Amino acid sequence: MKRARVAYAGAVHEAVETNGQVKLDDGRLVKENEVVWLPPVNPRTVFALGLNYADHAKELDFQAPAEPLIFLKGPNAFVGHRGQTRRPAGVEYMHYECELAVVIGKKARHVKREEAYQYVKGYTIANDYAIRDYLENYFRPNLRVKNRDGCTPIGPWLTDAADIADPMNLALRTFVNGKLTQEGNTRDMVFDIPDLIEYLSRFMTLEENDIILTGTPEGLSDTAAGDIVVTEIEGIGRLENTIVNDEVFGIQDVKKEEPHAAHRGRIHKEH
């Protein structure tokens, strides 16, 4: 089953997918373009993986890491399907990242990889935007690059784990204004889902609705305000987002964030 959280006619609802339509928890059947899509789960702790596809690491001139490169995200970063993400004025390189998002279903501590899938509730899609202008070499990638308000669209559906026969063999694709720009397959992850659950649960307790964003394959490119970016994963769905400029947020007179001048010209090479 595919599940969602939506707003419709002035109220927030849980919903499920029924024949391509959205069935609300009060029984109403509505069209998918009639609802406001919210993130399908209220995230608790969210992990994001860097350099977890060998091809992407190569693209960034990096060796795949020996242990998972993980950073965390706050709740401010998430926005639902058909949401907007701000591209600040003056930014030179902002790119999408299509990622399989794994949602944890129950408390997990010291989980062995053989049992890891028992702790997965389901899967959704995330677009983990990055603004490389702000990349600095401290706790990299920093929250200023990766944890900006609304910079991580997620959804539209949470697909039950039972409905995905092999999560380690799913095609991922990104389209910018309808043009295919990124293509990969979850089978190319350096650390697969069981690896990640085993690794994290070795030193911390995972809880229901913790989310692991498993990294992105190669094929990153710059985006512009007005672009419609669709990230899709086989069997899970397609997540749409629109990039907007400062004006939409009424930002005019605040001082502009200074791009990181030293990185200009080669920012696309680093992670």
Binding site for other proteins (CB under 8 A): 44-45, 47, 69-77, 134, 136-140, 142-144, 147-149, 203-207, 251, 254, 257-258, 260, 262
Q: Which two tokens stand for residue 228?
A: 């419609």
Whole-number Cα distances in Å, 126 to 101, 184, 200, 230, 231: 6, 15, 20, 10, 8
Min dist. Cβ of residue 68 to other proteins (A): 8
Nearer to other proteins, 179 or 255 (CB): 255
Nearer to other proteins, 113 or 144 (CB): 144
Min dist. Cβ of residue 134 to other proteins (A): 7
DSSP for residue 133: G
Helices (H) and strands (E) counted in the chain, each on its own, are 3, 19
Min dist. Cβ of residue 81 to other proteins (A): 21
Whole-number Cα distances in Å, 234 to 50, 128, 160, 227, 229: 22, 18, 14, 22, 17
Min dist. Cβ of residue 253 to other proteins (A): 10
Nearer to other proteins, 69 or 220 (CB): 69
Nearer to other proteins, 107 or 187 (CB): 107
Q: Please check whether residue 181 is in contact with residue 174, taking contact to mean a CB–CB distance below 8 angstroms.
A: yes
